[in-house]
Amino acid sequence: MATSSGGGSGSGGGGTYSYRNGATHSHKSSSKLDTHTHKPLSLNSSSNSSSKNHVKSKSLGPSSTTQRRNSTTSKDHHPSVPGRVRVAVRLRPRNAEESVADADFADCVELQPELKRLKLRKNNWDADTYAFDEVLTEFASQKRVYEVVARPVVESVLDGYNGTIMAYGQTGTGKTYTLGRLGEEDTAARGIMVRSMEDILADVSLETDSVSVSYLQLYMESIQDLLDPANDNITIVEDPRTGDVSLPGASLVEIRDQQSFVELLRLGEVHRFAANTKLNTESSRSHAILMVHVRRSIKGRDAGHSSENGNHPHSVKSLKPPVVRKGKLVVVDLAGSERIDKSGSEGHTLEEAKSINLSLSALGKCINALAENSAHVPFRDSKLTRLLRDSFGGTARTSLVITIGPSPKHRGETASTIMFGQRAMKVENMVKLKEEFDYKSLARRLDVELDKLIMEHERQQKAFEDEIERMATEAQHRLSEAERNYIDLLEKEKSKYEKDYMDSIRKLEDQLDMCSSCRL
């Protein structure tokens, strides 16, 4: 399956940011239709000054400081862009039991998908109306749900943003059906996790990019590794500088093909079931969290950092680090939103019930605080909210699907789910490109170059020394030869003088002999 525009178009380093799924929408993000003014969903920076103000006054602890600093630093090529959390509501079809038991009752909700509205019946003659970003009826296919809820987030992750897709709702309303179905027996039933990975693998290039996943369960404030069940107390680490959270203790498995990903999900499910049996709980009491890390290398002109000057001399250019984009997709299948009975009727003690509820109620409190623009957002109150810090009021694109059932028996739970979705729609994120220089790979490249230079230097040094030695030897030879020649010459001169001397002596003796004989 190929994405039509994933990875390339839309956002990126060029400065124009358009949230593909949101830019053209102009419907309302109010709670009840009659009580609020509506706000466009555009992420285009020029079109959303009001939401900018809205976000600026929020206090989000260290991460908000970082965001504001990032968005105003002149060196930063990627300012944050406002992007509201998008919320879709999905209605599960009546199940067999509801079809029989409630056959004569009207459903407690009425959907108006073309108006993107939902009516929640108060009684036979009165209903409250709510607007959502998408209204998905009981007939909505898994494919359509993926396309409206998840695909824009997945495309953003491929472009280098963080993204969150989360399902919230009462147990039995279709959260796992929406997110986690593997669809092996019926491919049309594939859920968001499987379809997301298909789109990711179709868009990345495995020679230069990498995709790796962690799969976790959060239960009673402890994080278990669903890919390595022995690892059942994973700690959350926060980077004090950036506010980014990570789970260094969690298994991170590199994914190269769809089949191995599906097998990993299946394995995670088996481990989840085993862990829950051991803990004597149900999966509806725990949160399942899939994290997909997508790391992409950006070459040349595509990179936002490198766009402003292409005329570097060679030496400077070669010192330029490559650019990488690191998008993280977080898919969260939340625990059932129904409150666990605090009287312990389900076999839980009060303390257990409190602890099981803790993360979900903390999430509700954070969303309320963000929706109301509160000065304090209690992210630190639970592990779930610490993990989702970037997803709500942070730098990620976030899409929430709230799942509801049709039965009037659960009207109370349905109403509270709808209110949760309405508040989440008011949460504004400051979406930011996660692009950075890859200094490690530059350092590796420079190491190789340095090694080459050292080798070349040593080679030249050796050649120089050899040449000096050769010249010295040659000079030595020449000197010895000259000495030899000189000695020869001297010898010759000496014998010549000796001979001349002897000749002269001999001549003198002859003359002497002649003189003496004359005198006689």
Ligand X SMILES: Nc1ncnc2c1ncn2[C@@H]1O[C@H](COP(=O)(O)OP(=O)(O)O)[C@@H](O)[C@H]1O
14 part of the interface to ligand X, by CB under 6 A: no
Pick from Mg ion, ligand X, none: which does 403 bind, CB < 5 to 8 A by kind?
A: ligand X
- Which segment (21-29, 87-95, 204-212, 230-238) binds ligand X by CB under 6 A? 87-95
Residues 319-338, interacting with ligand X (CB under 6 A): 336
Residue 458 burial (CB count, 10 A): 10
**Closer CB to Mg ion, 25 or 285, in the complex:** 285
* 433 CB-near residues (< 8 Å, 6+ apart): 11, 12, 13, 78, 159, 160, 161, 304, 325
Residues 402-421, interacting with ligand X (CB under 6 A): 403
Pick from Mg ion, ligand X, none: which does 78 bind, CB < 5 to 8 A by kind?
A: none
- Which segment (69-77, 165-173, 219-227, 366-374) binds ligand X by CB under 6 A? 165-173
Q: How far is the CB of 317 from Mg ion (least distance, A)?
A: 53
Can you point out the beta strands (E) in 227-322?
Answer: 237-238, 245-246, 253-254, 287-298
Question: Rounded to whole angstroms, how far apart are CA atoms 86 and 196?
Answer: 17
Under a CB-based contact definition with an 8 Å cutoff, are residues 442 and 319 in contact? yes
Give the amino acid at 258. Answer: Q
93 part of the interface to ligand X, by CB under 6 A: yes
281 part of the interface to Mg ion, by CB under 5 A: no
Judged by CB under 6 A, the residue of 28, 84, 175, 271 near ligand X is 175
- Which segment (90-98, 99-107, 124-132, 355-363) binds ligand X by CB under 6 A? 90-98
Under a CB-based contact definition with an 8 Å cutoff, are residues 431 and 395 in contact? yes
* Phi then psi dihedrals of residue 492, to 5 deg: -60, -45
173 part of the interface to ligand X, by CB under 6 A: yes
Three-class SS state of 15? coil
Pick from ligand X, Mg ion, none: which does 177 bind, CB < 5 to 8 A by kind?
A: ligand X
Pick from Mg ion, ligand X, none: which does 64 bind, CB < 5 to 8 A by kind?
A: none
- Which segment (89-97, 305-313, 362-370, 424-432) binds ligand X by CB under 6 A? 89-97
Question: Rounded to whole angstroms, how far apart are CA atoms 164 and 153?
Answer: 7
Three-class SS state of 167? strand
176 part of the interface to Mg ion, by CB under 5 A: yes
Under a CB-based contact definition with an 8 Å cutoff, are residues 425 and 36 in contact? no
271 part of the interface to ligand X, by CB under 6 A: no
Q: List residues binding ligand X (CB under 6 A).
A: 92-93, 95, 169, 171-177, 284, 336, 403
